[in-house]
């Protein structure tokens, strides 16, 4: 049987763990945004037909490009790698506080829709 003191201790420990998690998120906003972007990209992929790939239009007026890889560098940088319409490599780096990304459908380049890789600490997730 759990005493009132034990319940209070467990509640305090849970609160301290949550506070540590919040502090980690505050200290590493790029990682937090990466997690949120990953979920949004996966949901967007589900909405696309099989003849489309995922593209990104970043704030700053550049055209859309085929996104192949998303990663981050804590505490502040998100990195998008892919190919432009002519097949040239492109890498977009965005500070977390200036992130402005539009997901868009682009014509499929191969037989199958391309997948977006998500890298954590340089390794595929």
Radius of gyration of the chain (CA): 19
Q: Could you count the other beta carbons within 10 Å of the beta carbon of residue 69?
A: 15
Answer yes or no: are the C-beta atoms of 53 and 82 closer than 8 Å. Answer: no
118 CB-near residues (< 8 Å, 6+ apart): 34, 38, 69, 70, 71, 124, 125
Q: What is the pLDDT of residues 90-104, one digit of tens each?
A: 999 999 899 888 999
Query: With bands split at pLDDT 50, 70 and 90, how would you rate the model's confidence at 44?
Result: very high
Strand pairing category for 101-107 and 117-120? unpaired
pTM exceeding the 0.85 threshold for the entire prediction: no
């Amino acid at each position: 049987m759990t005493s009132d003191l034990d319940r209070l201790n467990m509640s305090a420990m849970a609160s301290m763990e949550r506070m540590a998690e919040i502090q980690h998120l505050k200290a590493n906003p790029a990682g937090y945004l990466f997690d949120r972007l990953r979920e949004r990209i996966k949901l967007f992929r589900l909405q696309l037909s099989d003849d489309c790939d995922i593209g990104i239009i970043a704030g700053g007026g550049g055209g859309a490009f085929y996104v192949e890889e998303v990663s981050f560098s804590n505490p502040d940088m998100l990195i998008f790698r892919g190919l432009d319409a002519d097949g040239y490599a492109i890498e977009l780096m965005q500070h977390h506080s200036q992130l402005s990304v539009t997901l868009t459908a682009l014509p499929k380049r191969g037989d199958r829709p391309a997948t977006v890789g998500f890298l954590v600490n340089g390794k595929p997730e």
